[in-house]
């Protein structure tokens, strides 16, 4: 039996509260490695759980401090992990410069699909001029990856402009009532960059190095937080 | 020195969070990673109360709670170099270790049976024990935000976190389906996060 992405995602809360029984806890931890939106949500919920703990602070028993300090100063500390062991994700393969340039040129040429502003999604009214500004910025970086919904997605980002242009091609058409939604994922969570219908281009603002771009399938109109496993995630 | 009559019960020792502006825990933990004793004592001052409180909430038994709280704080000393500030606050890092240790202890059988004799599930450690819950802003805020949840969300979150139960155990205790509990825990916690304006 295959566990669906949505079933996994609903476990973020139980995981953050240490309420997953053991085999499931380990499975969910493996799933987290491949689900940036789950991971972002777990972080926020862990912080929330920490507030629940802060609210229950109690005076520790007398003498505990002395016992802890004495034990600590007799205990050797772990050395830092070498950098390659820090949290790393596989870097999506890069497109050839030619293919990337062609796809961006095509996006600019085709103009920008108007993004939905329903539900106050902070969608940007991208203009051709804005997209051109990003893709021609001297510090523009290009990342591309294939998506689990077919096709590929390309991100061109400029640190100086703090903007990123997201272009998709060839992703499967979704049934009525479903839409592709683009997210900017940072340590503080995921925020919507707008909705993508078929082949389209979005402009995301306030994008900083270290952010990632993710695309999920969401109910028509979009949601305020990702609710499914992304079909693609790539660095911004 | 003579006590001012009748203002408070003499046997109650309120846990007082340090009154200074909140120290930068991230910087302190970085100093702890370099073996700085003074920094560790400051971290202890900030977090020993919450660590002991949450462990005691789950385990109930004071002696066992102290033992686990000590292990947690020692773990903080030992693994300070592994704390990654990009992945969450220092307080959440420490309190995640604390809750998990308490829960691991509960789920080992012997501790579980001892604990069941101790107390019913959802009730909080009562306020009139010698160590009193701090009437901090955190406490009031959490209480207010918990009040904003539906009954089922609130009970699910409290049983899971303060009770240390797994979600199947919570489902059993509340007499609802597994899927319902998973959803209520997540929805309730998301609502708490938004109510408390958690920024991570």
Find which of A20, A42, A43, A55 to mutate to test the B interface (most B CBs within 10 Å of its CB).
Answer: A55
pLDDT on residue B15: 46
* Separation in Å, CA of B176 to nearest CA in chain A: 15
Pairing relation of β-strands A163-169 and B131-132? Answer: unpaired
d(CA A55, CA B158): 13
Retrieve residue A222's tokens.
Answer: 């979009």
Q: CA dist A61 to A55, A56, B15, B62, Å?
A: 18, 15, 11, 9
pLDDT on residue A156: 85
pLDDT on residue A128: 67
Nearest C-alpha in B relative to A9: B186
d(CA B163, CA B160): 5
pLDDT on residue B30: 95
Q: Which of residues 80-99 of A touch B (CB under 8 A)?
A: 80-81, 86-87
- CB contact under 8 Å between B53 and A65, yes or no, is no
- CB contact under 8 Å between A48 and B77, yes or no, is no
Sign, CA torsion A52/A55/A59/A65: positive
pLDDT on residue A189: 85
Nearest to A54 among B91, B131, B179 (CB): B91
d(CA B104, CA A22): 10
- Do residues B160 and B174 touch, judged by C-beta distance below 8 A? no
- CB contact under 8 Å between A17 and B98, yes or no, is no
Q: CA dist B151 to A4, B2, B167, B192, Å?
A: 28, 48, 16, 13
pLDDT on residue B53: 95
Question: Is the predicted pLDDT of residue A106 greater than 60, yes or no?
Answer: no
pLDDT on residue A234: 87
Q: CA dihedral in degrees (B164, B169, B174, B180; nearest 10)?
A: 100
- The ranges of chain B with pLDDT < 70 are 1-23, 109-137
pLDDT on residue A113: 39
- Quote the ipTM score: 0.82
* Separation in Å, CA of B4 to nearest CA in chain A: 23
- CB contact under 8 Å between A57 and B162, yes or no, is no
- E strand or H helix that includes residue A133: helix A128-135
CA angle B115, B120, B123 (to 5 degrees): 115
Averaged confidence pLDDT in chain A: 78
Confidence of residue A102 (pLDDT cuts 50, 70, 90): low
Nearest to B74 among A48, A68, A188 (CB): A68
Q: Which residues of A touch B121 (CB under 8 A)?
A: none
Mean pLDDT over A29-37 rounds to 89
Question: Is the predicted pLDDT of residue A135 greater than 90, yes or no?
Answer: no
- CB contact under 8 Å between B50 and A56, yes or no, is yes
Location of structure tokens 């990003």: A134
d(CA B198, CA B187): 15
pLDDT on residue B22: 52
pLDDT on residue A198: 52
pLDDT tens, B31-67?
A: 999 999 999 999 999 999 999 999 999 999 999 999 9
Angle, helices B178-195/B137-147, rounded to nearest 10 degrees: 130
Q: Which of residues 33-62 of A touch B (CB under 8 A)?
A: 43-61
A213 - beta bridge partners? A184, A234
- CB contact under 8 Å between A60 and B66, yes or no, is yes
d(CA A45, CA B92): 10
Location of structure tokens 């007398």: A62
- CB contact under 8 Å between B125 and A56, yes or no, is yes
Q: Which of A109-113, A137-141, A232-236 has the lowest mean pLDDT?
A: A109-113
d(CA A132, CA A107): 10
Question: Is the predicted pLDDT of residue A92 greater than 80, yes or no?
Answer: no
- Do residues A55 and B143 touch, judged by C-beta distance below 8 A? yes
Retrieve residue B176's tokens.
Answer: 């609802």
Location of structure tokens 């505990």: A64
Mean pLDDT over A199-211 rounds to 81
Q: Which of residues 118-147 of A touch B (CB under 8 A)?
A: none
Confidence of residue A225 (pLDDT cuts 50, 70, 90): confident
Confidence of residue A91 (pLDDT cuts 50, 70, 90): very low
Mean pLDDT over A62-83 rounds to 91
Sign, CA torsion A68/A71/A72/A73: positive
Confidence of residue A80 (pLDDT cuts 50, 70, 90): confident
Retrieve residue A104's tokens.
Answer: 């961006």
Q: CA dist A138 to A50, A141, A156, A204, B14, Å?
A: 43, 9, 12, 18, 59
């Amino acid at each position: 039996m295959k566990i669906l992405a949505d079933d996994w995602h609903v476990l973020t809360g139980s995981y953050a509260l240490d309420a997953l029984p053991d085999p499931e806890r380990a499975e969910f931890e493996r799933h987290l490695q491949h689900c940036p939106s789950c991971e972002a949500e777990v972080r926020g919920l862990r912080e929330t759980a920490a507030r629940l703990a802060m609210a229950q602070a109690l005076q520790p028993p007398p003498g505990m401090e002395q016992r802890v300090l004495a034990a600590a100063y007799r205990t050797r500390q772990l050395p830092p992990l070498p950098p390659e062991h820090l949290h790393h994700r596989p870097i999506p393969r890069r497109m050839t410069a030619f293919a990337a340039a062609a796809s961006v040129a095509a996006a600019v040429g085709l103009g920008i699909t108007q993004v939905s502003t329903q539900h106050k999604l902070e969608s940007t009214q991208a203009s051709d001029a804005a997209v051109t500004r990003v893709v021609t910025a001297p510090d523009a970086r290009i990342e591309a990856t294939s998506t689990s919904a077919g096709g590929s997605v390309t991100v061109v980002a400029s640190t100086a402009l703090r903007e990123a242009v997201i272009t998709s091609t060839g992703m499967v058409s979704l049934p009525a009532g479903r839409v592709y939604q683009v997210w900017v994922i940072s340590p503080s969570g995921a925020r919507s960059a707008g909705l993508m219908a078929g082949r389209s281009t979005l402009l995301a603002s306030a994008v900083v190095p270290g952010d990632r771009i993710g695309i999920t399938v969401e109910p028509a109109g979009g949601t305020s937080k990702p609710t499914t496993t992304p079909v693609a995630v790539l660095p911004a | 020195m003579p006590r001012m009559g009748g203002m408070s019960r003499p046997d109650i020792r309120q846990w007082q969070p340090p009154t200074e502006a909140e120290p930068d825990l991230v910087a302190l933990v970085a100093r702890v990673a370099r073996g700085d004793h003074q920094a560790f004592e400051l971290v202890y001052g900030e977090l020993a109360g919450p660590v002991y409180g949450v462990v005691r909430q789950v385990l109930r038994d004071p002696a066992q709670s102290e033992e686990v709280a000590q292990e947690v704080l020692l773990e903080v000393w030992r693994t300070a170099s592994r704390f990654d500030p990009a992945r969450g606050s220092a307080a959440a890092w420490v309190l995640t270790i604390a809750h998990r240790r308490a829960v691991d202890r509960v789920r080992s059988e012997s501790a579980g049976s001892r604990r069941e004799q101790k107390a019913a599930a959802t009730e909080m450690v009562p306020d009139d024990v010698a160590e009193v819950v701090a009437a901090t802003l955190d406490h009031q805020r959490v209480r207010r935000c918990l009040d904003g949840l539906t009954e089922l969300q609130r009970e699910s979150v409290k049983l899971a976190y303060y009770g240390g139960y797994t979600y199947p155990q919570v489902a059993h205790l509340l007499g609802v389906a597994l899927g319902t509990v998973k959803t209520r825990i997540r929805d309730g916690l998301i609502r708490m996060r938004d109510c408390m304006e958690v920024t991570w």
